[in-house]
Amino acid sequence: MTKTALITGASRGLGAALALALVPTHHIIAVGKTTGALEDLDDQIQAIGGQATLAPMDVNVEPAMQQLCRGIHDRWGRLDLWIHTAIHAAPLTPVAHMNDKDLTKSLELNIRSTARLIQYTTPLLGDDGTAVFFDDPHMGQKFFGHYGSTKAAQISLAQSWQAENTKSGPTVKILTPKPMPTAVRARFYPGEPREGLASPADEAARLLPEILG
């Protein structure tokens, strides 16, 4: 039976790199807002002999995520792997000047949508499936009020889910990638030299044994 991997935030960066790395073992269900980027990913997946189902959706739209998870159930009956890389990275700013619109977006994607996806994927993953989150600790750092607080809350959700599942599945893993030249990091560190950063492909290869182990 073909294994399935749902990747939320698959259109670029680490999500796209992990999609390509999983091609030999999984059918990729790629979720992202940018249709063109997902189509480019699909071309790369097909070029190396894999198959993907593209889901150009916004994970913040609750009915869309419900429809997606129902579609996974109807087609495959279960989900083997969920990798969550979708994140909102609001501009850096002093806490006293935080923009309410950016805070709302950060809360919605980084916390509320994550919580909903946990609810929707739990029955699909069952006892044998695996969910993977990625920590990027900036909590308490200056100017990281939006991102640092909501990313920390996202990881706290994952940690609680992980602790609740110690005697039954699904397995929840929280990994910490090395700094990569992603669009998110470029927003935080504009002009940063990229030579010392790990490529998403190299990080995907490094993290894959932990994800599948």
Q: What pTM value is reported for the model?
A: 0.96
Domain assignment present for 61: yes
Convert the pLDDT of each residue in 103-128 to its tens digit: 999 999 999 999 999 999 999 999 99
Domain assignment present for 211: no
How far is 136 from 147, CA to CA, in rounded Å? 10
Convert the pLDDT of each residue in 68-95 to its tens digit: 999 999 999 999 999 999 999 999 999 9
Provide the residue range defining the domain that includes 116. 3-206
Domain assignment present for 171: yes
Structural domain tally of the chain? 1
